[in-house]
Amino acid sequence: MAVTAASADERQQLRRAVIASTVGTSIEWYDFFLYSTAAGLVFANLFFPKSDPAVATLNVFLIYAVGFIARPIGAAIFGHYGDRIGRKATLIATLLLMGVATFLIGFVPTYKSIGIWGALLLVVLRFVQGVGVGGEWGGSVLMSMEWGHRGRRGFWASWPQFGVPVGLVLANGALYIMSNIAGKEGFATWGWRVPFYFSILLVAVGLYVRLRVFETPLFQRLLDEKKIESAPVAEVIRRNWKEILQSAFLRLSEQAPFYIFTAYIFTYAVTPGPLKQTRDYILLALTCAAVLSFVSIPLFGYLSDRLGRKRVYMAGVVAMGVWGFVYFGLLDTKAAGLIFLAIFLSLIPHDAQYGPQAALIAESYTGRLRYSGASLGYQLASVFAGGPAPIIATLLLAGGVIPGTSIKVTGYHTSLAIAWYIAICAVISFIAVATVKERSKQDISLEYDEQPAAQPVGAGMRPTQQPT
């Protein structure tokens, strides 16, 4: 009876952990995506009104990239504390940091009020946002995966990933609603601010949910056995630098296209962009795409438990390499129905990678270094994949001066250039995934350096069998 009671209690905590991780991550990504969408819609005119439109767009996306540059810093800071004091306490801190920064963005004065200082305030708050989300991902994934480590780890770890489309739906939905309530002029003056104010209410909900979850049993055992590293970030860099680089590069074909599909699309598709579509139509199409991800992300996480992480992930990488050409081919027809179809299906190749990605990355690191290693590897990709992607897409299409330099790039004036950029990202990621060790069947409750070596053939273990 005692075993049954314990098992029932553990299942209850697993449910709470998954809900807390998913709700918290959804709120964090709502905060992060608000800037992404608003940047493509109104920020260029509000904060750089005297600049050439192309230059203003590049400046806004440069501020956008600041959040990605900050993410590895957040990964290092919160990875340290996540491996030192626990997953739960660290996740509460990241939620507060992110929520307050997003709330304050709603109060930033525009160029008309305080000149360039408005843009500088955006830089600071975007940086704080990046630090918060940099620490969020690792803890959310580990909270779910370490509570559900005995069974379908890929499936349970995919639920924090599920927070990305939820956050995207909430952010785009909030801006879509305010766009219709406030009208074109009202949205540009005050309507865009309301969704940022709303984030503080979501933070209160997230805190309530996260405070009700216990620390994960795997980390609690590390505490009880006094196996905590004094400097986990330095130690994981020393021991697992290869895994950190693998984690970063395997994300290239997932993250760079994602921000082209969800942020750059507003520059490309909405008037005065090449496709001359309305803001509301693109918001609606992208929101529908995110809703489809509600199903596809956990589905691919589940498939990774059945078929193996690497197999599912590599299929997603190949699909993405091809999809870039199909996506822009459909967009460039300028037919409203085909544009909607392209955007609606755009996240499926991404989800085939994003579903199994959390477990694939987190399993690469032993328990006492897992928060630091997984966070650093995951967030390092933000510097060269997510953040620069809209800037690179803008330069490839229209050309211009690279922000912060005097280097002028001549644009190709065709979306094929962007499709080839996505394909190159896919090739790099495919190579990275091919070098990752498959651990989907390995016992992650034991420290990797304490697990027994595989027995010789004939000693009761098949050559390919993993010790557990």
* 361, 246 contact by CB (below 8 A): no
Name the pLDDT band for 84 (thresholds 50, 70, 90): very high
pLDDT of residue 57: 77
The answer to whether residue 211 is domain-embedded is yes
Q: Is residue 367 part of a domain?
A: yes
The sign of the CA dihedral 50, 45, 263, 74 is positive
In which element (H, E) is residue 400 found? strand 400-401
Residue 468 has what pLDDT?
A: 30
Which residue did the predictor score with more confidence, 33 or 8? Answer: 33
Amino acid 170 reads: L
**What are the tens digits of pLDDT across the range 239-278?**
999 999 999 999 999 999 999 998 899 889 987 888 999 9
Q: Phi first, then psi: give them for residue 401, nearest 5 degrees.
A: -90, 130
The pLDDT, as a whole number, for residue 463 is 40
The Cα–Cα gap between 291 and 62 comes to: 28
Domain that holds residue 382: 11-217+241-441
In this prediction, residue 406 has a pLDDT band, given cuts at 50, 70 and 90, of confident
pLDDT at 6: 43
pLDDT at 1 over 60: no
Has residue 283 been placed in a domain? yes
Q: What is the pLDDT of residue 7?
A: 66
The set of residues, in sequence order, having a beta carbon less than 8 Å from that of 210 and lying 6+ positions away, is: 20, 23, 24, 88, 91, 92, 95
Q: With respect to residue 277, please indicate whether it lies within any of the assigned structural domains.
A: yes
Q: State residue 269's pLDDT score.
A: 92
Could you identify the residue written with the tokens 């995506």?
33
Across the range 372-390, mean pLDDT stands at: 90
Dump pLDDT digits (tens) for 107-123: 999 988 998 898 899 88
Task: Select the highest-mean-pLDDT range: 15-19, 181-185, 192-196.
Answer: 192-196
Please check whether residue 204 lies inside any domain of the structure.
yes
Mean of pLDDT values over 446-466: 53
Q: What is the pLDDT of residue 235?
A: 95
In this structure, the chain runs to a length of 468
Q: In the beta sheet, which residues pair with residue 408?
A: 401
Which stretch of DSSP H or E encloses residue 408?
strand 408-409
85-107: pLDDT as tens digits: 998 889 899 889 988 998 999 99
Strands (E) in 80-179, as ranges, are none
Say which CATH number the domain at 196 has: 1.20.1250.20
**In the predicted structure, residue 334 carries a pLDDT above the cut 50:** yes
Asked whether residue 210 is assigned to any structural domain, the reply reads yes
- By CB atoms closer than 10 A (0-12, 13-18, 19+), residue 230 is exposed
If pLDDT is split at 50, 70 and 90, which confidence band does 354 have?
very high
Q: With cut-offs at 50, 70 and 90, classify the pLDDT of residue 293.
A: very high
**What CA–CA distance (Å, rounded) separates 225 from 87?**
17
Residue 36 has what pLDDT?
Answer: 74
Whether 24 is covered by a domain: the verdict is yes
Structurally, how many domains does the chain consist of?
A: 1
The residues that bridge with 400 in the sheet, in sequence order, are 409
Q: Residue 24: is its pLDDT beyond 60? A: yes
Phi, psi dihedral angles at 277 (to 5 degrees): -95, 165
HSE, side-chain direction, 13 A CA sphere, residue 423: 13
Residue 53 lies in a domain: yes
Burial class, 404, CB count within 10 angstroms (exposed 0-12 / middle 13-18 / buried 19+): exposed
Residue 229 pLDDT greater than 70, yes or no: yes
In one-letter notation, the amino acid at residue 315 is: A
Average pLDDT taken over every residue of the chain: 87
How many Å apart are CA 193 and CA 56, to the nearest integer? 20
- CA dist 161 and 304 (Å) reads 14
191 pLDDT exceeds 70?
A: yes
